[in-house]
């Protein structure tokens, strides 16, 4: 009769020792999580791709949406800041690699230094994403939504965007915020826009040098209507739109804003979680916890998560901003 119980190798695996392919239990669980989370992000990006393809003729152009850069107000810088954010996050992945390598060499001070740089990079990325959200939500130029749900933007004869406040006619109207309790069951405004529809329409009529830029895209550019076509389009003006929210946005199709908030927000939550884990591990490094264990495997495990977060952003950046 064979002996019962577990072998030495099985005990080592249960205690966190090397398992399949030399990986410990902790690393295997991290890889399982990464694979499952990758499938989640893949589903979100696939949904975004299908929606964009369905509305490809009137989908917002990223170069016209993400044009802000800190301390350069009014200076068009399409995609520059998003590219900088991407570089910072990728560079933080490099510092994480250096921290893991220093851990293999049991160099505590270097592990702490590179972990600190990784944390700083994560905080900069999160702050940059919050700043980008603020500008996206606030908007810059404003637009008009028609009865059919189309978004109308305004440009001058040179094709340069014109903000509502530059031409809207102040009429001192009595304005009421649309809420369901006032009988407007179909809409609920969070706040009154800066101008009423009549003020924008009358201001547009009194500025013959202005034109309407429609949502329709031809040769990767939105179509600018003639003055006569612009005036006819303005007859169906329904709402003044400033910035973006989950209901409508001045940049174009509302699904664009919905996906932007959800996908970048979900990724931002992952970055925040990664920064939090890095901070905890960093303090454990300072306290000498892993030095006493004679192993910096925990640094390697949070490093796997951090590399995954960085890789996901590369796909988000490619699909959402570049393509």
CATH number at residue 57: 1.20.120.80
Mean confidence (pLDDT) of the chain: 87
How many domains is the chain partitioned into structurally? 2
Structural domain includes residue 250: no
Local structure of residue 322 (DSSP, 8 states): I
Structural domain includes residue 312: yes
152 — pLDDT class (breaks 50, 70, 90)? very high
Q: Which residue has the higher pLDDT, 171 or 236?
A: 236
Alpha carbon separation from 133 to 127, 128, 139, 141, 265 (Å, rounded): 10, 9, 10, 16, 9
The residue segments making up the domain with residue 307 are: 22-139+256-322
Q: Which residue has the higher pLDDT, 218 or 99?
A: 99
Residues 264 and 233 in one domain: no
Average pLDDT value for residue range 262-266: 95
Alpha carbon separation from 317 to 82, 86, 257, 264, 267 (Å, rounded): 8, 8, 15, 9, 11
Residues 6+ apart with CB under 8 A from 180: 187, 188
Structural domain includes residue 11: no
69-101: buried (b, 16+ CB within 10 Å) or exposed (e) per residue? beeeeeeeebbebbebbbebbebbbebbebbbb
Q: Which of 242, 273, 300 is the last residue in one of the domains?
A: 242
| Residue 1: per-residue pLDDT | 42
Structural domain includes residue 47: yes
Q: Which residue has the higher pLDDT, 272 or 294?
A: 272
Structural domain includes residue 309: yes
Structural domain includes residue 167: yes
- Mean pLDDT comparison of 50-64, 117-131, 213-227, highest-scoring range: 117-131
Structural domain includes residue 10: no
Structural domain includes residue 268: yes
Residue 52 has pLDDT above 70, yes or no: yes
183 — pLDDT class (breaks 50, 70, 90)? low
Q: How far apart are CA 14 and CA 26, in angstroms?
A: 11
> Distance of alpha carbon 103 from its chain centroid, rounded?
33
| Residue 6: per-residue pLDDT | 44
Average pLDDT value for residue range 203-214: 94
Q: Which of 211, 242, 273 is the last residue in one of the domains?
A: 242
| 3-state SS, residue 13 | helix
Residue 13 has pLDDT above 70, yes or no: no
| Residue 11: per-residue pLDDT | 43
């Amino acid at each position: 009769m064979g002996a019962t119980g577990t072998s030495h190798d099985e005990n080592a695996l249960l205690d966190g020792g090397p398992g399949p392919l030399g990986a410990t239990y902790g690393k295997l669980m991290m890889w399982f999580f990464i694979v499952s989370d990758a499938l989640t992000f893949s589903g979100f990006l696939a949904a975004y791709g299908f929606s964009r393809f369905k509305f490809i003729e009137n989908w917002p152009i990223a170069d016209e949406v993400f044009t802000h850069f800190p301390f350069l107000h009014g200076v068009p810088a399409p995609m520059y800041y998003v590219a900088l954010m991407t570089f910072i996050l990728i560079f933080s992945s490099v510092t994480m690699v250096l921290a893991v390598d220093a851990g293999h060499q049991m160099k505590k001070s270097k592990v702490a230094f590179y972990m600190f740089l990784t944390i700083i990079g994560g905080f900069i990325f999160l702050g940059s994403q919050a700043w980008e959200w603020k500008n996206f939500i606030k908007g810059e130029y404003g637009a008009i939504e028609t009865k059919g749900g189309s978004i109308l933007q305004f440009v001058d004869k040179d094709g340069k965007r014109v903000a509502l406040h530059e031409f809207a006619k102040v009429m001192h109207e009595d304005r009421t915020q649309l809420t369901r309790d006032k009988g407007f069951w179909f809409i609920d405004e969070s706040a009154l826009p800066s101008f009423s529809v009549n003020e924008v329409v009358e201001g547009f009529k009194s500025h013959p040098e202005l034109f309407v830029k429609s949502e329709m895209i031809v040769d990767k550019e939105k179509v600018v209507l003639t003055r006569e076509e612009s005036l006819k389009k303005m007859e169906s003006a329904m709402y003044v739109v400033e910035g973006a929210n989950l209901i409508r946005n001045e940049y174009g199709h509302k699904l664009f804003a919905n996906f932007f908030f959800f996908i970048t927000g979900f990724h931002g939550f992952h970055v925040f979680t990664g920064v939090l884990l890095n901070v905890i591990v960093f303090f454990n490094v300072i306290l000498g916890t892993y030095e006493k264990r004679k192993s910096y495997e925990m640094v390697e495990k949070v490093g796997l998560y951090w590399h995954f977060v960085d890789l996901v952003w590369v796909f988000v950046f490619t699909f959402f901003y570049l393509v």
